[in-house]
């Protein structure tokens, strides 16, 4: 049973599709990278999958215990978060909101501790989020997303704004989560990294150009190109 099934989806704003004809599915253990140029509809697609935008047409279905609107989402940093006064613990705990009542119980606090330990940021829990390095902030956001749902993560450009060493490290953290069984869906510009780490590729340019395993994608788009060169 798939965690996420997208059927013939058109994603867009106010009834005008930005990207259409999209179908894919994600099961436990999958690692899907959605690649494409700016304006190809990647972000719009992800917002639709998250339920932040209504689909223009088609269907987004969540299965296997993933409740609607309860997805582990790792967004890009917004401008407002740069100087935001919040401790790492406060940020990570907010991932438990979908599960908690008005206040956090011990269960949620334990979950937050567990996910911070998993992301190796437990010693930073009382530090100010705004004073962390870019990589540490991403780990905090990953821990927060894992608190919300640890069967599937949706990541929006996880390497944006990180230096090459930290980028590499970030991809390895994500890969280790994937090996532990967390399904990964990622939007990325970084085709090289997508070829190395992901299992499935969806290449989007207002409509899907390619959807399938990473080996087929390499054959179709890269090896041929090299032969011509």
Partner 1 sequence: MLETLLHYLSFPFVRYALIVGVLIALCSSLLGVVLVLKRLSYIGDSLSHIAFGAMAAATALNLSDNLLLVLPVTIVVSILILYSGGRTKIQGDAALAMLSVGSLAVGYMLFNLFPPKGGNVSGDVCTTLFGSTSILTLTKEEVWLSVILSAAVVILFVIFYHRIFSLTFDEDFARATGMRTGLYQLGMAAVVATVISLAMNLVGSLLISALLVFPALSSMRVFHSFKKVVICSAIFGVSAALLGLLVSILVGTPVGATIVAADMAGFFLFGLIGLFKKGRTA
Q: How far is the CB of 156 from partner 1 (least distance, A)?
A: 9
CB 43 within 8 A of CB 50: no
Tokens of 178: 């994937």
Minimum CB distance to partner 1 smaller for 85 or for 225:
85
Stretch near partner 1 under the rule CB under 8 A, chosen from 27-35, 80-88, 112-120, 175-183: 80-88
Q: Is 183 in the site for partner 1 (CB under 8 A)?
A: no
DSSP-assigned states of every residue in 69-135? T--EEEPPPPGGGTT---BHHHHHHGGGTTT--SS--HHHHHHHHHHHHHTT-GGGTTSBGGGS-HH
Rule CB under 8 A: is residue 15 a binding residue for partner 1? Answer: no
Residue 149 CA to residue 71 CA, distance in Å, equals: 6
Q: Tell me if 83 contacts partner 1 by CB under 8 A.
A: yes
Residue 87 CB neighbour total at 10 angstroms = 16
**81 binds partner 1 per the rule CB under 8 A:** yes
Polymer length of the chain? 229
Residues 51-70 that bind partner 1 (CB under 8 A): 51-52, 67-70
Cβ 102 to partner 1, closest distance in Å? 6
The residue behind tokens 């070829």 is 195
Which residues sit at the interface with partner 1, rule CB under 8 A?
47, 50-52, 67-71, 73, 75, 78, 80-81, 83-87, 90-91, 93-95, 97-98, 100, 102-104, 126-128, 130-131, 144, 148
């Amino acid at each position: 049973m798939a965690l996420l099934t997208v059927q013939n989806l058109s994603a867009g704003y106010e009834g005008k599709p930005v990207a259409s004809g999209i179908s894919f599915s994600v099961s436990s253990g999958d690692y899907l990278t959605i690649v494409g140029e700016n304006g190809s509809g990647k972000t719009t697609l992800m917002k639709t999958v998250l339920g932040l935008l209504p689909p223009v047409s088609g269907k987004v279905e969540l299965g296997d215990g993933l409740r609607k609107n309860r997805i582990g989402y790792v967004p890009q940093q917004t401008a407002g978060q740069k100087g935001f006064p919040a401790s790492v613990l406060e940020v990570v705990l907010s991932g438990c909101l979908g599960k908690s009542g008005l206040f956090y119980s011990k269960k949620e606090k334990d979950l937050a501790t567990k996910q911070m330990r998993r992301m190796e940021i437990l010693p930073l829990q009382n530090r100010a989020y705004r004073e962390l390095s870019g990589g540490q902030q991403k780990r905090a956001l990953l821990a927060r997303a894992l608190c919300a749902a640890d069967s599937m993560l949706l990541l929006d450009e996880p390497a944006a704004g990180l230096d090459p060493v930290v980028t590499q490290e970030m991809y390895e953290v994500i890969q280790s989560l994937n090996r532990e069984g967390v399904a990964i869906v990622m939007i990325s510009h970084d085709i090289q990294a997508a070829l190395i780490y992901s299992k499935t590729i969806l290449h989007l340019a207002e409509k899907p150009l390619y959807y399938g395993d990473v080996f087929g994608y390499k054959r179709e788009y890269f090896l041929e190109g090299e032969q011509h060169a």
